[in-house]
Structure 1
Amino acid sequence: MKYSFAINTAIGLILSLGAFHSANAQVSKEDNSQAEKLYQQHCQSCHGVDRLGAMGPALLPENLARFRKNKAIKVINKGRAATQMPAFNKTLSKAEIEALASYIYTPSKASLSWTIADINKSKVEHFDQSKLPNEAQFDADLMNLFIVVELGDHSATLLNGDTFERLDRFKTRFALHGGPKYSPDGRFVFFASRDGWISKYDIYNRKTVTEVRAAINTRNIAISSDGNYLIVGNYLPNNVVILNTSDLSPIKVIDAKDSDGVSSRVSAVYNAPPRHSFIVALKDVKEVWEIPYSDKGGVEVYKGWAHDYKNEAKAEGWKLEHQFPVRRIKTDDVLNDFFFDPEYINLIGTARNSHNGQVINLDTKKKVASIALTGMPHLGSGITWDYQDKEVFASPNIKEGKITVIDMESWQVIKEIQTEGPGFFMRSHSNSPYAWTDVFFGPNSDKVHVINKSTLEIVKTLAPSPGKNAAHVEFTKDGKYVLLSVWDMDGELIVYDANTLEIIKRMPMKKPSGKYNVYNKINYEKGTSH
């Protein structure tokens, strides 16, 4: 279904539902053939060959969870709010839309399994890493580099954050998703694509060195703080895959099933540095997982659950050391979006159809508070800062035009800052007095608000390229400059002075989206996403 890939999480909302009913899937061979042609014409470019997913999610009975066919017809007919899914009611007839809806509920001819053997077989070694120099082959502050993802032609730019000059521009896999992640020393950057490809790029030598396909449909990746392990969260198959970062060889595949054996898609994976563990968000069951990647995880660092950790590991028949045991944390509802406090003690999550957020203490595995949250807060793009001698958390909202500011001690809403429309990304820096947020959805998508963090007021609204979607800022290492994307095929990367808000430079780019500063990412700078 022809739409532009735009945002990391909102795309995942498209048709992210459903129970498969075989009665609804019965179509004649003739009807099925016609529907397949319609799919190839209107849907394949985004949802992939054999409906296995590409820019958009896989459209298969196995991962259309919690969604009935009549609702699928409605989505195809009218599109889906807060995503890039368009309406087809003026393009296709009623009968064609019904045929398409029936078709996506029929089994795919393609194999839906992806094993360790498949991962190993897929490996592509472009360069022998051991033979490449261990020093950067260019002059720049290696901590103030950026990777800029250009979705328009599936490329990425390596950018000097001091001079704002390109150091490299290289092709990426189709439809990157979830944000690239850096090794702790900043030398390597890892990418994940919608269709499961994991790529390792050597910044020092400006070369993609190794790639493997870890899954059929991937959500995102995270890297352990010691730099040894990379975890891949997947929609298809329902699992997480743990890779060795040195050569991207698979170490372990863990099926995403709750304690009752119910399978689930994995909506996201995170690194929790103080805990020496990964956190896994499950999309279809009422559990969150913690997976220690070091024997320090939960034992030496968090004595409070050492006994629990050992018992669970023993019960599953796993050894403690580097075997990635799963620690299950029960939740009151299926959580769709996540944020963590800076110490990674508390998880803040929201359920899609709830008006409350849940605060879950990861040490005790219990809910400690509820937060009044309406609309569709995008916690994954939330940020924290100090306000009136307390730490606050602020989240944009992809359904309502507001920013919600929350006291992280009382978990009470301090203020709702009204914006000119729903937004998706929010960013700041510890050295900046301002927080920036876009108005990604709706008629004012060319606007960006600048909020004073000490007053919680919008001090300026920018329209950097009128009529074109402006979104996602990232700060330089020192917080002096802000880089903003104009999400258009004839788009731009715009550099602002972070204090005067004056434009310093404009760089033409092909639909630039996320920008990722090496220092801010590897040091978990407060104002950026993790």
Structure 2
Amino acid sequence: MKSALIALALLIATPALAAEDAPRLFSEHCAACHGGDRLGAIGPALLPENLGRLKKAEAEKVIAEGRIATQMPGHADKLTPAQIKALADYVFTPLASVPTWGMEQIAASRVLNVNPDLLPAKPVWTADPLNLFTVVETGDHHVTILDGDSFTPLARFQSRFALHGGAKYSPDGRFVYLASRDGWITKYDLYTLQIVAEIRAGVNTRNVAVSHDGRFLMVGNMLPHTLVALDARDLSPIQVIPVAGDKGVTSRVSAVYTAPPRSSFVVALKDIMEVWEIPYADDAGPVMNGFVHSYEKGHEEGISEGGRFQAIRIRTPDYLDDFFFDSTYERAMGASRDGTKGLVVDLDIKRKVAEIDLPGMPHLGSGIIFKMDGRDVMATPHLKEAVVSVIDMQTWKTIKRIPTLGPGFFMRGHENSPYAWIDVSMGKDKDAIQIIDLGSLGIVKTLRPAPGKTTAHAEFDRSGKHVLISVMEADGALIEFDAASFDEVARLPMKRPVGKYNVFNKINYSSGTSH
């Protein structure tokens, strides 16, 4: 009886002991690849911010069984179930403080594979260089370069862990820049189908923007709280910009955008009620001796000092996590933190000029612009409401709310198409794609190309004649549709293709696609 009680006590205590020993287990079994500080090494960073949508149960399975098509081995033969659970809990525990990742670490991480001056002038293939798609497959962390005319892959290469924030192109469409959650920025040459350079600009990165003249990249980080400017030619670091407001309060970067007519980057912040604009033109220079008036009584906005880039700080009455710009880039629409409204900030006069009735957490980054009666209007899906809102961009009034089968994430249109395509992947009808007639503002077709499977992210080809849809499953697919008849044209198997980005539409800032 006594021995049985001792055994039972040990069994009950095992999970607690394993949890207490998680740092040692990590050091012994994980640190060689993922870094002793969990910030990543040859393997990705293991922080809750970097793990994306991975759930703890899925993490436990990866620890036990490994991950196919990666260097991640299984540990079920070395660790008990309690130890595996303890490790999963450990990597989902936030760090005690914001990690340091400054100029020294950034510069040391850079890998230059090819001298940019030695790259050939012509592609090694014969496809239309402006009708290529960069397809991000997160199922096995690969990227496919797709010929949009023949619907055939030109190349497929392994990416960094968990690419995030979409693909961005150089102004001529030759190079594509990719950002991973782990902070790695990759420059890939579409002409020769090879990685030119890589650099780790942060520990957890939100996205990257490319200046319209092709000279600079600006990287927005969640960890640490910085923006990082890079030379687009070879990814050499130029400047680390601390993201700090009044009294030293720092902020994660929600997103960074390019505003071509303004020759500037515009930055959305998560933890400070400000919008930042960073001019990059050579003649930008200091602005008003370091301050710009906000036109709000009693407020003056600071300019970050030191280095090539200076940030003009514009106060806002709420936190704005997401942006959408009018066609002039003079006004930015931002989604408020409470998810009930949008705010319009005029970047010229540096203040809020309107509020928009937008309940249900609008996903403004996926909005589109189109013409109605000669006026610019925008449409946006909502993350928490089964509706698409249509907004007049002169009066900022809601023209119509179009009911859908569920909340959606992505919306796409094209200048040569009278239709917009939306998903409703945030609701129970996750397998549906709905098509809106932009004239009548009514839904004219509902497609279910893969019943029961998550289907989302429409993207037009350069002509607007075809639309590509993703089946976002491990054994998923990319489906090509005729944009006029809505008939399926072709289907290509892929590993959870979460996004695809057309060169022509992106570099020409199509009003029907995200920027």
- Structure 2 length as normaliser, TM-score? 0.83
Please state whether the residue corresponding to 2:154 is helix, strand or coil: strand
In structure 2, runs of 5+ residues without a counterpart are: 1-14, 61-80, 294-299
Match for 1:220: what amino acid?
N
1:204 is aligned to 2:172:
no
Contact 1:440 1:471 survives alignment (8 Å): yes
- The residue type equivalent to 1:363 in the other structure is D
- CA drift at 1:288: 0.8
Distance verdict in 2 for CA 1:357–1:49, change over 3 Å: farther
Deviations, residues 131-183 of structure 1 (Å, cap 9, x unaligned)? 22121111011111111111111111111111111111111111100011100
Q: Does 1:485 align with 2:484?
A: no
8 Å CA contact 1:276–1:296 kept in 2: the answer is no
Which structure 2 residues correspond to residues 131-210 of structure 1 after superposition, within 5 A? 131-210=118-197
2:434 is aligned to 449
- Number of residue pairs matched by the alignment: 464
| Deviation, structure 1 residue 483 | 0.7
Question: Structure 1 residues 51, 499: CA separation in 2 closer, same or farther (over 3 Å shift)?
Answer: same
Residue 118 of structure 1 is matched in structure 2 by 105
Q: 1:379 to 1:103 in 2, by over 3 A?
A: closer
For 2:100, the aligned partner's letter is S
1:318: how far off? Answer: 5.2
1:347 matched to which residue of 2?
332
Q: Point out the structure with max Rg over C-alpha.
A: 2
2:486 is matched by which residue type in structure 1?
L
- Partner Cα distance (1:288, 1:438) in 2: 29
**1:514–1:194 Cα change, 3 Å:** same
Q: CA deviation at 1:105?
A: 5.3
Separation of aligned partners in 2, 1:52 and 1:421: 37
Structure 1 window deviating more from structure 2 (389-398 vs 418-427): it is 389-398
Deviation at 1:209, TM superposition (A): 1.3
Q: Name the residue aligned to 1:402.
A: 387
User: What CA distance in whole angstroms lies between the structure 2 residues aligned with 1:191 and 1:328?
Assistant: 27
Q: RMSD in angstroms over aligned alpha carbons?
A: 3.3
Q: Whole-Å Cα distance in 2 between the matches of residues 435 and 405 of structure 1?
A: 12
SS of 2:463's equivalent? coil
- Deviation digits for residues 224-269 of structure 1 (CA, Å, limit 9, x no counterpart): 0110000000011100000001110100000000133211111110
Distance, in Å, in 2 between the alignment partners of 1:433 and 1:309 is 47
SS of the equivalent of 2:246 reads: coil
Displacement of 1:437 after TM fit?
A: 0.4
Tell me, yes or no, if the aligned pair for 1:36 and 1:103 is still in contact at 8 Å: no
Give the secondary-structure state (helix, strand or coil) at the position aligned to 2:320: coil
For residue 228 of structure 1, the aligned residue among 215, 220, 242 is: 215
Aligned to 2:378: 393
Q: Which residue of 2 aligns with 1:261?
A: 248
Write the deviation string for residues 337-360 of structure 1: whole angstroms up to 9, x where unpaired.
Answer: 111111111111122214221111
The answer for the alignment partner of 2:273 in structure 1 is 286
Distance (Å, rounded) in 2 between the aligned partners of 1:162 and 1:385: 25
SS at match of 1:347: strand
Structure 1 residue 103, shift from structure 2 partner = 7.8
User: Which residue does the alignment assign to 2:496?
Assistant: 511
Q: Quote the residue 1:357 is aligned against.
A: 342
Does the CA-based 8 Å contact 1:275-1:297 persist in structure 2?
no
Provide closer, same or farther for how the CA distance between residues 504 and 392 of structure 1 changes in structure 2, counting only shifts above 3 A. Answer: same
User: Shift of residue 392 of structure 1?
Assistant: 0.9
Residue from 233, 245, 257 that aligns with 1:270: 257
Deviation per CA, 1:318-373, whole angstroms, max 9, x where unpaired?
58xx8211101100011111111111111111222142211110101111111111
- 1:248 corresponding residue in structure 2: 235
Query: CA offset at residue 296 of structure 1?
Result: 5.0
The one-letter code matched in structure 2 to 1:179 is G
Q: In 1, are the aligned partners of 2:47 and 2:92 still within 8 Å (CA)?
A: no
Q: Deviations over 1:20-76 (max 9, x none)?
A: xxxxxxxx9957525669999xx99xx99855599999448xx9xxxxxxxxxxxxx
Structure 1 101/129 Cα, relative in aligned 2: closer, same or farther at 3 Å?
A: closer
Report the residue type matching 1:289 in the other structure: W
How far, CA to CA, are the matches of 2:91 and 2:191 in structure 1? 50
Residues 371 and 308 from structure 1, CA distance in 2 versus in 1: closer, same or farther, beyond 3 angstroms? farther
Any gaps of 5 or more consecutive residues in structure 1? 1-27, 64-82, 300-305
- Contact 1:358–1:370 (8 Å) recurs in 2: yes
DSSP 3-state at the match of 1:450: strand
Q: Is the 8 A contact 1:222 1:271 kept in 2?
A: yes
Letter in 2 for 1:177: H
Q: Distance in 2 between matches of 1:412 and 1:155?
A: 42
- In the alignment, the residues of structure 2 paired with residue 386 and residue 49 of structure 1 have an alpha-carbon distance, to the nearest angstrom, of 54
After TM superposition, the structure 1 = structure 2 runs for residues 280-319 of structure 1, keeping only pairs within 5 Å, are 280-296=267-283, 307=288
Which amino acid in structure 1 is aligned with residue 96 of structure 2? P
Q: CA deviation at 1:129?
A: 2.7
Does the 8 Å contact 1:446/1:464 carry over to 2? yes
Question: How far apart, in 1, do the equivalents of 2:374 and 2:228 lie?
Answer: 41
Q: CA deviation at 1:107?
A: 2.5
Deviations 1:431-453 (A, max 9, x none): 00100000111221000000000
Q: Quick check: 1:220–1:234 contact (8 Å CA) kept in 2?
A: yes
- Whole-angstrom CA distance in 1 between matches of 2:37 and 2:408: 33
Contact 2:165 2:208 in 1 (8 A): yes
- Structure 1 residues 444, 308: closer, same or farther in 2, change over 3 A? farther
